[in-house]
Amino acid sequence: MGIDSDLRIDYASYDIQERDLYLFMTDGVYEYLSSSKMVEMAKSYADDLPAMAKEMVEYAYTQGSGDNLTLQVVHIDTLAEKTLIDIQRAAAQKPFPPTLKARDEFDGYTIVRKLSDTPRSRVYLALDKSNQDPVVLKAASLEFQEDKEYIERFLLEEWIARKVKSAYLLKTYQLSRRRNYLYNVSEYIEGQTLRQWMHDNPNPTLEEVRAIAEQISKGLLAMHRLEMVHQDLRPENIMIDKTGSVKIIDFGSAKVKGIREINTQLQEEEILGTLQYSAPEYFLGEPGTYRSDLFSLAVIIYEMLSQKLPYGTKVARTTSKSQQKKLKYKSLYTEESGTPIWIDETVRKALQPDPLKRYSELSEFLYDLRHPNPAYLKKSRPPLKERNPTAYWQIVALIEALAIIWLLYMQS
């Protein structure tokens, strides 16, 4: 059979990328075709693969090859969507990106400027050198190169962004070229955070608030349909562009059913900055649910309508159900606010400390934001103690003072 007494097997393993080109040929071709000539001919016939194969074989023949002339050209058009395990394997050996600055050339991109720098990541605006399109690069933070759970969470965020398709969620790009560092690439949204929008528009109309809330809800619903909970909804994680289009941009804290939760020390520290938007059940050690995202959305709506928080900063200090039962909701309804009583009752229900007392579906909440619920229309306006606690206690104090003065007068 022509086999030697010792069998030696050579093999190689490569990651396949979309738009890769592979040439499989006998020695009758490659021994008469230099690497530079192969590249030249591959570029010349990139749009006609049969012609490319024919020209390479004929060129080898004209160079004196009399051996077997066989060549196969394989072009990778598309690949199956990568699983989380695929992404983790591909990134396992990749180094963290260095700190970058404007005009740096990095992995096929030109850095324009830094957009943000947090303990968890560094975010840059960049131009793709292949087409000059603006993109956003999110680079893993150098401080956590040895933190396996941090890396898993970073990769999970990218996987979630690829998995969920919605016009109301940030789009992450699947690169057609090899990535040499640990980072992800997403679309660039020319706009501002909802936080900045709220600063610029302290007194939005009810319709503006509804339009924003409905778009956020559509993004959340896309996640919920795939059994994902966002868990960190806040104005800083929402972008709004010049046309009023809204997108949720951060999935770093999201929970996915079937994937074990990754809790890094970093996340436990970072939650201190987002407590006012977190649902009360988180402070009881309970897992987040779709109703937890609803609570966070309702806090944002409440803040847009009043520039205040429904429970102040008290929620974060309630670590038992008995403490949470004592939380007092401050009504949105006042003579000055112009907020209808039925809107106030709708938001109040979504902000119930007990998740079972909230709306069971986001769609129900959205419906009641646009259509007056008959049950809420029957509600009388909230007592002064709820509408204006300060004024209520001032009146109580005044009455007590007058009573004391009267008693002293009667005794004199």
71: three-class secondary structure by DSSP: strand
Provide the total of helices (H) and of strands (E) in the chain, helices listed first: 15, 12
How do the domains of the chain map onto residue ranges? 21-75, 84-187, 191-381, 388-412
* CATH dotted code for 191-381: 1.10.510.10
**What order do you get walking across the sheet with 238-241 strand by strand?**
191-193, 238-241, 246-248
Residue 193 phi, psi (nearest 5): -70, 160
Rounded to an integer, what is the distance from CA 282 to the centroid of its chain?
Answer: 20
Burial of 345 (0-12, 13-18, 19+ CB in 10 A): buried
pLDDT at site 29: 86
Element (H, E) at 128: strand 121-128
Burial of 152 (0-12, 13-18, 19+ CB in 10 A): middle
Integer Cα distance of 148 and 342 in angstroms = 49
Q: How many CB atoms lie within 10 A of CB 376?
A: 17
CA separation (Å) from 47 to 43, 44, 51?
9, 8, 9
**Which residue, chain included where needed, has tokens 């009573």?**
403
**Which residue, chain included where needed, has tokens 């939760």?**
261
pLDDT one digit per residue (tens) for the chain, 412 residues: 456 666 667 766 666 767 788 888 998 888 888 888 888 888 888 888 888 888 888 888 888 888 888 999 898 876 655 565 665 665 567 889 999 999 999 999 999 999 998 888 899 999 999 899 999 999 988 888 888 888 888 888 888 998 899 999 999 987 777 888 999 999 999 999 999 999 999 999 999 999 999 999 999 999 999 999 999 999 999 999 999 999 999 998 898 887 755 554 444 444 434 788 999 999 999 999 999 999 999 999 999 999 999 998 889 889 999 999 999 999 998 767 789 999 999 999 999 999 999 999 999 999 999 999 998 887 655 565 565 666 666 787 778 877 788 777 777 6
In 3D space, the residue among 350, 18, 8, 343 whose CA is nearest the CA of residue 173 turns out to be: 18
Beta strands (DSSP E) in 245-341 are 246-248, 255-256
**One-letter amino acid identity for 396?**
V
* CATH dotted code for 84-187: 3.30.200.20
176: three-class secondary structure by DSSP: coil
Integer Cα distance of 18 and 28 in angstroms = 29
